[in-house]
Structure 1
Protein backbone atom coordinates (compact mmCIF):
# COMPACT_ATOMS: atom_id res chain seq x y z
CA UNK A 1 0.00 0.00 0.00
CA UNK A 2 1.25 3.46 -0.87
CA UNK A 3 1.80 6.02 1.82
CA UNK A 4 -0.47 9.10 1.92
CA UNK A 5 2.55 11.16 0.87
CA UNK A 6 3.10 8.98 -2.23
CA UNK A 7 -0.53 9.36 -3.22
CA UNK A 8 -0.31 13.15 -2.83
CA UNK A 9 2.86 13.25 -4.90
CA UNK A 10 1.07 11.33 -7.67
CA UNK A 11 -1.93 13.67 -7.44
CA UNK A 12 0.35 16.72 -7.72
CA UNK A 13 2.26 15.31 -10.68
CA UNK A 14 -1.00 14.41 -12.44
CA UNK A 15 -2.33 17.95 -11.89
CA UNK A 16 0.91 19.45 -13.24
CA UNK A 17 0.77 17.15 -16.26
CA UNK A 18 -2.84 18.16 -16.94
CA UNK A 19 -1.86 21.84 -16.84
CA UNK A 20 0.99 21.20 -19.28
CA UNK A 21 -1.28 19.20 -21.60
CA UNK A 22 -3.99 21.89 -21.54
CA UNK A 23 -1.37 24.49 -22.43
CA UNK A 24 0.03 22.34 -25.23
CA UNK A 25 -3.46 21.65 -26.62
CA UNK A 26 -4.24 25.37 -26.61
CA UNK A 27 -0.99 26.09 -28.47
CA UNK A 28 -2.09 23.68 -31.23
CA UNK A 29 -5.67 25.01 -31.29
CA UNK A 30 -4.40 28.59 -31.63
CA UNK A 31 -1.88 27.67 -34.32
CA UNK A 32 -4.55 25.83 -36.32
CA UNK A 33 -7.07 28.67 -36.02
CA UNK A 34 -4.76 31.64 -36.60
CA UNK A 35 -1.22 30.55 -37.44
CA UNK A 36 0.26 32.43 -34.46
CA UNK A 37 1.72 31.43 -31.11
CA UNK A 38 0.27 32.56 -27.76
CA UNK A 39 3.09 35.10 -27.37
CA UNK A 40 2.43 36.51 -30.85
CA UNK A 41 -1.30 36.69 -30.10
CA UNK A 42 -0.56 38.57 -26.87
CA UNK A 43 1.47 41.17 -28.79
CA UNK A 44 -1.40 41.62 -31.24
CA UNK A 45 -3.94 41.88 -28.40
CA UNK A 46 -1.89 44.55 -26.62
CA UNK A 47 -1.68 46.59 -29.83
CA UNK A 48 -5.36 46.04 -30.61
CA UNK A 49 -6.41 47.31 -27.17
CA UNK A 50 -4.29 50.48 -27.27
CA UNK A 51 -6.22 53.69 -27.92
CA UNK A 52 -4.19 54.59 -31.00
CA UNK A 53 -3.30 50.94 -31.84
CA UNK A 54 0.45 51.71 -31.52
CA UNK A 55 3.16 50.96 -29.00
CA UNK A 56 6.96 50.99 -28.87
CA UNK A 57 8.88 47.70 -28.68
CA UNK A 58 10.34 48.82 -25.34
CA UNK A 59 6.89 49.47 -23.85
CA UNK A 60 5.65 46.17 -25.23
CA UNK A 61 8.53 44.24 -23.65
CA UNK A 62 7.95 45.97 -20.32
CA UNK A 63 4.23 45.22 -20.35
CA UNK A 64 4.79 41.56 -21.28
CA UNK A 65 7.60 41.15 -18.75
CA UNK A 66 10.08 39.76 -21.26
CA UNK A 67 13.38 40.89 -22.76
CA UNK A 68 13.32 43.40 -25.61
CA UNK A 69 15.31 40.98 -27.77
CA UNK A 70 12.55 38.39 -27.32
CA UNK A 71 9.92 40.95 -28.31
CA UNK A 72 11.98 41.87 -31.37
CA UNK A 73 11.94 38.25 -32.57
CA UNK A 74 8.16 38.09 -32.11
CA UNK A 75 7.69 41.43 -33.90
CA UNK A 76 9.85 40.25 -36.84
CA UNK A 77 7.59 37.23 -37.38
CA UNK A 78 4.39 39.28 -37.08
CA UNK A 79 5.71 41.91 -39.49
CA UNK A 80 6.71 39.22 -42.00
CA UNK A 81 3.14 37.88 -41.78
CA UNK A 82 1.68 41.33 -42.40
CA UNK A 83 0.05 41.52 -38.97
CA UNK A 84 1.87 44.61 -37.78
CA UNK A 85 4.05 47.39 -39.13
CA UNK A 86 7.02 49.31 -37.80
CA UNK A 87 6.86 53.06 -38.29
CA UNK A 88 9.32 55.78 -37.35
CA UNK A 89 7.95 58.16 -34.75
CA UNK A 90 7.05 61.56 -36.12
CA UNK A 91 8.16 63.23 -32.89
CA UNK A 92 11.38 61.27 -32.27
CA UNK A 93 13.13 59.76 -35.29
CA UNK A 94 15.09 57.38 -33.02
CA UNK A 95 11.88 55.74 -31.84
CA UNK A 96 9.91 53.05 -33.68
CA UNK A 97 6.19 52.58 -33.19
CA UNK A 98 4.45 49.30 -33.81
CA UNK A 99 0.99 49.36 -35.34
CA UNK A 100 -1.43 46.49 -35.79
CA UNK A 101 -2.74 45.97 -39.33
CA UNK A 102 -6.19 44.84 -40.44
CA UNK A 103 -4.75 41.34 -40.88
CA UNK A 104 -3.52 41.48 -37.29
CA UNK A 105 -6.91 42.66 -36.02
CA UNK A 106 -8.65 39.87 -37.91
CA UNK A 107 -6.25 37.37 -36.30
CA UNK A 108 -7.06 38.68 -32.81
CA UNK A 109 -10.79 38.39 -33.44
CA UNK A 110 -10.50 34.90 -35.00
CA UNK A 111 -8.43 33.52 -32.11
CA UNK A 112 -10.00 31.03 -29.72
CA UNK A 113 -10.48 32.19 -26.13
CA UNK A 114 -6.98 32.42 -24.65
CA UNK A 115 -6.14 29.92 -21.95
CA UNK A 116 -4.94 32.68 -19.65
CA UNK A 117 -8.25 34.53 -20.14
CA UNK A 118 -10.12 31.41 -19.00
CA UNK A 119 -7.85 31.29 -15.98
CA UNK A 120 -8.40 34.99 -15.18
CA UNK A 121 -12.18 34.61 -15.28
CA UNK A 122 -12.08 31.60 -12.93
CA UNK A 123 -9.51 33.29 -10.67
CA UNK A 124 -11.67 36.43 -10.41
CA UNK A 125 -14.57 34.31 -9.15
CA UNK A 126 -12.47 33.00 -6.24
CA UNK A 127 -12.53 34.52 -2.76
CA UNK A 128 -9.56 36.69 -1.80
CA UNK A 129 -8.17 34.06 0.58
CA UNK A 130 -8.42 31.40 -2.15
CA UNK A 131 -6.56 33.64 -4.60
CA UNK A 132 -3.80 34.24 -2.05
CA UNK A 133 -3.53 30.55 -1.29
CA UNK A 134 -3.34 29.65 -4.98
CA UNK A 135 -0.69 32.28 -5.70
CA UNK A 136 1.41 31.07 -2.76
CA UNK A 137 1.04 27.44 -3.84
CA UNK A 138 2.01 28.15 -7.44
CA UNK A 139 5.00 30.23 -6.32
CA UNK A 140 6.05 27.33 -4.11
CA UNK A 141 5.76 24.89 -7.04
CA UNK A 142 7.87 27.21 -9.20
CA UNK A 143 10.46 27.31 -6.42
CA UNK A 144 10.43 23.52 -6.08
CA UNK A 145 11.16 23.27 -9.80
CA UNK A 146 14.00 25.83 -9.57
CA UNK A 147 12.00 28.09 -11.89
CA UNK A 148 11.91 31.30 -9.82
CA UNK A 149 14.49 33.11 -11.95
CA UNK A 150 13.20 32.10 -15.38
CA UNK A 151 12.02 34.80 -17.79
CA UNK A 152 8.23 34.56 -17.82
CA UNK A 153 5.29 36.61 -18.98
CA UNK A 154 1.58 36.19 -18.33
CA UNK A 155 1.23 34.12 -21.50
CA UNK A 156 0.44 30.44 -21.01
CA UNK A 157 2.41 28.48 -23.58
CA UNK A 158 4.55 25.37 -23.69
CA UNK A 159 6.78 26.88 -26.36
CA UNK A 160 9.74 29.10 -25.65
CA UNK A 161 9.27 32.78 -26.38
CA UNK A 162 12.75 32.99 -27.89
CA UNK A 163 13.19 33.05 -31.65
CA UNK A 164 15.70 30.21 -31.54
CA UNK A 165 12.90 27.73 -30.80
CA UNK A 166 10.50 28.91 -33.51
Structure 2
Protein backbone atom coordinates (compact mmCIF):
# COMPACT_ATOMS: atom_id res chain seq x y z
CA UNK A 1 0.00 0.00 0.00
CA UNK A 2 2.80 2.46 0.83
CA UNK A 3 4.38 2.03 -2.63
CA UNK A 4 1.05 2.72 -4.32
CA UNK A 5 0.56 5.96 -2.36
CA UNK A 6 4.14 6.99 -3.12
CA UNK A 7 3.59 6.40 -6.85
CA UNK A 8 0.30 8.31 -6.83
CA UNK A 9 1.92 11.21 -4.97
CA UNK A 10 4.81 11.35 -7.45
CA UNK A 11 2.33 11.27 -10.33
CA UNK A 12 0.38 14.18 -8.81
CA UNK A 13 3.62 16.11 -8.30
CA UNK A 14 4.64 15.52 -11.93
CA UNK A 15 1.23 16.78 -13.10
CA UNK A 16 1.66 19.95 -11.06
CA UNK A 17 5.15 20.47 -12.45
CA UNK A 18 3.89 19.92 -16.02
CA UNK A 19 1.00 22.35 -15.49
CA UNK A 20 3.48 24.94 -14.24
CA UNK A 21 5.77 24.38 -17.22
CA UNK A 22 2.87 24.53 -19.71
CA UNK A 23 1.61 27.74 -18.12
CA UNK A 24 5.08 29.24 -18.38
CA UNK A 25 5.36 28.25 -22.04
CA UNK A 26 1.94 29.72 -22.82
CA UNK A 27 2.91 32.95 -21.10
CA UNK A 28 6.27 33.08 -22.90
CA UNK A 29 4.68 32.57 -26.32
CA UNK A 30 2.04 35.26 -25.66
CA UNK A 31 4.24 37.89 -24.00
CA UNK A 32 7.88 36.83 -24.18
CA UNK A 33 7.98 36.85 -20.37
CA UNK A 34 8.60 34.22 -17.73
CA UNK A 35 6.09 33.79 -14.88
CA UNK A 36 8.43 35.51 -12.42
CA UNK A 37 8.93 38.47 -14.76
CA UNK A 38 5.16 38.83 -15.07
CA UNK A 39 4.76 38.61 -11.29
CA UNK A 40 7.31 41.41 -10.82
CA UNK A 41 5.49 43.54 -13.41
CA UNK A 42 2.21 42.92 -11.59
CA UNK A 43 3.74 44.04 -8.30
CA UNK A 44 5.06 47.21 -9.91
CA UNK A 45 1.63 47.91 -11.39
CA UNK A 46 -0.19 47.32 -8.07
CA UNK A 47 2.24 49.37 -5.99
CA UNK A 48 3.82 52.01 -8.20
CA UNK A 49 7.23 53.24 -7.04
CA UNK A 50 8.11 50.05 -5.17
CA UNK A 51 11.74 49.41 -4.41
CA UNK A 52 13.33 46.20 -5.68
CA UNK A 53 13.74 45.00 -2.09
CA UNK A 54 10.00 45.52 -1.48
CA UNK A 55 9.24 43.45 -4.59
CA UNK A 56 11.59 40.72 -3.37
CA UNK A 57 9.93 40.73 0.05
CA UNK A 58 6.38 40.61 -1.34
CA UNK A 59 7.15 37.76 -3.76
CA UNK A 60 9.55 35.88 -1.44
CA UNK A 61 12.26 36.10 -4.13
CA UNK A 62 15.93 36.71 -3.47
CA UNK A 63 17.19 40.26 -3.95
CA UNK A 64 19.61 39.13 -6.69
CA UNK A 65 16.77 37.41 -8.54
CA UNK A 66 14.65 40.56 -8.52
CA UNK A 67 17.60 42.66 -9.67
CA UNK A 68 18.17 40.25 -12.58
CA UNK A 69 14.47 40.27 -13.50
CA UNK A 70 14.25 44.08 -13.33
CA UNK A 71 17.38 44.33 -15.53
CA UNK A 72 15.58 42.23 -18.15
CA UNK A 73 12.31 44.16 -17.82
CA UNK A 74 14.13 47.46 -18.14
CA UNK A 75 16.08 46.25 -21.18
CA UNK A 76 12.77 45.18 -22.79
CA UNK A 77 11.29 48.64 -22.10
CA UNK A 78 8.61 47.30 -19.75
CA UNK A 79 9.78 48.95 -16.52
CA UNK A 80 12.04 51.77 -15.43
CA UNK A 81 14.18 52.55 -12.40
CA UNK A 82 14.21 56.04 -10.89
CA UNK A 83 16.18 57.40 -7.98
CA UNK A 84 14.08 58.60 -5.07
CA UNK A 85 13.52 62.35 -4.86
CA UNK A 86 14.08 62.56 -1.09
CA UNK A 87 16.62 59.75 -0.75
CA UNK A 88 18.79 59.38 -3.84
CA UNK A 89 20.05 56.02 -2.55
CA UNK A 90 16.62 54.48 -3.07
CA UNK A 91 15.58 53.13 -6.45
CA UNK A 92 11.88 53.08 -7.35
CA UNK A 93 10.38 50.88 -10.04
CA UNK A 94 7.75 52.12 -12.49
CA UNK A 95 5.77 50.45 -15.23
CA UNK A 96 6.05 51.79 -18.77
CA UNK A 97 3.16 51.96 -21.23
CA UNK A 98 4.65 48.92 -22.96
CA UNK A 99 4.64 47.14 -19.58
CA UNK A 100 0.96 47.95 -19.11
CA UNK A 101 0.18 46.66 -22.59
CA UNK A 102 1.96 43.37 -21.83
CA UNK A 103 0.01 42.99 -18.59
CA UNK A 104 -3.24 43.65 -20.43
CA UNK A 105 -2.44 40.99 -23.04
CA UNK A 106 -1.00 38.35 -20.68
CA UNK A 107 -2.92 35.08 -20.35
CA UNK A 108 -4.28 34.03 -16.97
CA UNK A 109 -1.40 32.91 -14.81
CA UNK A 110 -1.52 29.53 -13.11
CA UNK A 111 -0.67 31.34 -9.87
CA UNK A 112 -3.75 33.56 -10.20
CA UNK A 113 -6.03 30.58 -10.80
CA UNK A 114 -4.46 28.85 -7.82
CA UNK A 115 -4.87 31.91 -5.61
CA UNK A 116 -8.55 32.26 -6.48
CA UNK A 117 -9.30 28.59 -5.85
CA UNK A 118 -7.12 28.33 -2.76
CA UNK A 119 -8.62 31.42 -1.12
CA UNK A 120 -12.07 29.86 -1.59
CA UNK A 121 -11.11 26.87 0.57
CA UNK A 122 -11.83 26.79 4.30
CA UNK A 123 -8.89 27.92 6.43
CA UNK A 124 -8.33 24.43 7.87
CA UNK A 125 -7.91 23.03 4.35
CA UNK A 126 -5.56 25.85 3.35
CA UNK A 127 -3.44 25.10 6.43
CA UNK A 128 -3.43 21.38 5.63
CA UNK A 129 -2.27 21.99 2.04
CA UNK A 130 0.40 24.43 3.20
CA UNK A 131 1.71 21.96 5.77
CA UNK A 132 1.81 19.15 3.20
CA UNK A 133 3.62 21.30 0.63
CA UNK A 134 6.13 22.55 3.19
CA UNK A 135 6.78 18.97 4.25
CA UNK A 136 7.19 17.93 0.61
CA UNK A 137 9.62 20.81 0.08
CA UNK A 138 11.59 19.59 3.08
CA UNK A 139 11.65 16.01 1.75
CA UNK A 140 13.08 17.37 -1.53
CA UNK A 141 15.65 19.57 0.28
CA UNK A 142 13.94 22.63 -1.20
CA UNK A 143 13.55 24.58 2.07
CA UNK A 144 16.10 27.26 1.19
CA UNK A 145 15.62 27.48 -2.57
CA UNK A 146 14.57 30.90 -3.89
CA UNK A 147 10.87 30.98 -4.82
CA UNK A 148 11.64 32.24 -8.35
CA UNK A 149 12.34 29.51 -10.89
CA UNK A 150 15.94 29.09 -12.01
CA UNK A 151 14.95 29.86 -15.57
CA UNK A 152 13.92 33.38 -14.52
CA UNK A 153 17.34 34.00 -13.04
CA UNK A 154 18.98 33.02 -16.32
CA UNK A 155 20.47 29.82 -14.90
CA UNK A 156 18.55 27.53 -17.25
CA UNK A 157 18.45 28.33 -20.95
CA UNK A 158 14.99 27.45 -22.25
CA UNK A 159 16.33 27.26 -25.82
CA UNK A 160 18.11 24.05 -24.81
CA UNK A 161 14.78 22.29 -24.02
TM-score w.r.t. the length of structure 1 is 0.88
Paired positions, count: 157
User: In terms of Rg, which structure is larger?
Assistant: 1
CA distance in 2: counterparts of 1:67 and 1:9, whole angstroms: 32
- Name the Cα RMSD after superposition: 1.5
Higher RCO (C-alpha 8 Å, min separation 6): 1
CA distance in 2: counterparts of 1:30 and 1:62, whole angstroms: 24
The more displaced of 143-152 and 27-36 is 143-152
Offset at 1:90? 1.4
Unaligned residue ranges in structure 2 (runs of 5+): none
**1:91-130 deviation per Cα after TM superposition (whole angstroms, max 9, x unaligned):** 1122221110010011111111111111111112212221
> 1:70, 1:163 within 8 Å by CA — same for their partners in 2?
no
Residues 1:82 and 2:77 are matched in the alignment: yes
Offset at 1:138? 1.0
Which residues in structure 2 correspond to 1:1-40 (within 5 Å)? 4-40=1-37
Offset at 1:164? 3.3
Unaligned residue ranges in structure 1 (runs of 5+): none
The more displaced of 21-30 and 123-132 is 123-132
